[in-house]
Every structure is written in structure tokens, then in C-alpha cells.
A and B are shown apart, each in its own frame.
Chain A
């Protein structure tokens, strides 16, 4: 099993450009999510999904779109990149339990710089 894979590992964008961060998992997890990590702020939830065709906003959704057409894939789109979106992005997946989320499995991250 590859677990959670993310591409690219590094990306530099100019302000106003758009791009898609790819995320895939091979564990048949219902739940997938995107976080951004900034110094001193921990991980903040951008968007999440509890299954194919179902997505919802997290804590910091502005400027990002997601879709979930399959169980395996959960791409994150930056519509018009801004310097404030410079960050490290992590995708994660987990099973859903009756009482909450099970252990999250994280991808290796994408380091994005917006100039």
C-alpha cells in the first residue's frame, strides 16, 4: 500500500496563477481532508469530505476549492494564488467511526510558495 500520496512536493506560483494539488489514498478511507500548516498556528483544516460526492468547508476555506468524484482522490484547487497562501499543505485520510474520526494518515506534504 502506498498510503496517502501527494503531488507535487514543491511548487512556486506567481500571484494570480491557479493550480491543483493532488491527493490520493489506497486504503478505502471514507474521510479525506486538506490542512495547511503555518509556523505557530498548527494545522488548520481547509476542506474535508466524508465520501465521494460530499465535501464541506473547514476553518480556512477561502481561496480553495475541492471535489471528490472517487473514494481515492481528493484534489485541492487554488483559484487565484495569493502570497497569503504560501504554506505547507497536507492531505490526510481516515476511517469514520461511530464516535468520531479514526487515526488520520498524512501525506508527505506540498510546500507551496506564492510570489
Chain B
């Protein structure tokens, strides 16, 4: 079975400050990992993904995440927050094979203040 834990349901940062959203996963097989963003009253869109290869992945809007197998983590970072980053962020893990399922964390709501 696979699972995702997102530490902190709400995170508040000042505009221009570092954004760090934490994600730890559990998987019995090498995982595929994803970060999605959801703006109010919208569906989810992909920020970035890790499947294989380079463990530091870059996504849209200046976000990046690093896959650390030893720590079973996939934390999301952005060097400088912008007001437009305020949204809910979801980490997700996918297993392998044609019966793969995508398991989501419970989400972290990011607030950006002036």
C-alpha cells in the first residue's frame, strides 16, 4: 500500500520569502511522485513530477522539488513567494503496473502575505 503525508495543512509566508511545503511518502516500489496545485474553485493542475532520472525536478512558476529516497521525501520549494502562489498544494504518489492508483496527501493551503 502507498500513502502520502503532508506536514502542515496551512502554511503562511511573506511575499518574497522561501516557500517550503513538505511531503513524505510510503511505497513498496520505486514511486512516481507529483505535486499539483489547485486555485479556488478550479480543478488541479500539475506543478511538477518525478518518474526516473534526475532527483531534482523543476516545474512551472519557479517551483522545484527533490526526491530523496533515503528520507522518503519529496518537498516542494520556491525561493521567493509571490501573491499569485496562494493556493492549495497536493502531493501524490503513484505505484507501478497497469493497476496503478494515484494516492493524494490531504493538501497544504499556502497563504502569502504582504
A interface residue numbers (CB < 8 A to B):
31, 33, 35, 40-45, 48, 50, 56, 58, 90, 92, 96-104, 106-109
Chain B proximity of A106: nearest CB distance (Å): 4
Known contacts being A42-B90, A97-B51, is A108 close to B42, with CB within 8 Å? yes
The 5 A-B residue pairs with the shortest CB-CB distance, nearest first, are A100-B94, A106-B43, A100-B32, A42-B106, A101-B94
B interface residue numbers (CB < 8 A to A):
9, 30-32, 34, 36, 42-46, 49, 51-52, 90, 94-107
Please indicate the chain B residues that have their CB under 8 angstroms from the CB of A101 in the complex: 32, 94, 100-102
Please indicate the chain A residues that have their CB under 8 angstroms from the CB of B97 in the complex: 100
- Interface centre among A33, A45, A100, A102, by most B CB within 10 Å? A100
Chain A's closest residue to B33 (CB) is A100
Known: A42-B90, A99-B52. 4 other contacts (CB 8 A): A31-B100, A100-B31, A101-B102, A106-B43
CA distance A90 to B92 in the complex (A): 15
- Interface centre among B9, B52, B97, B102, by most A CB within 10 Å? B102
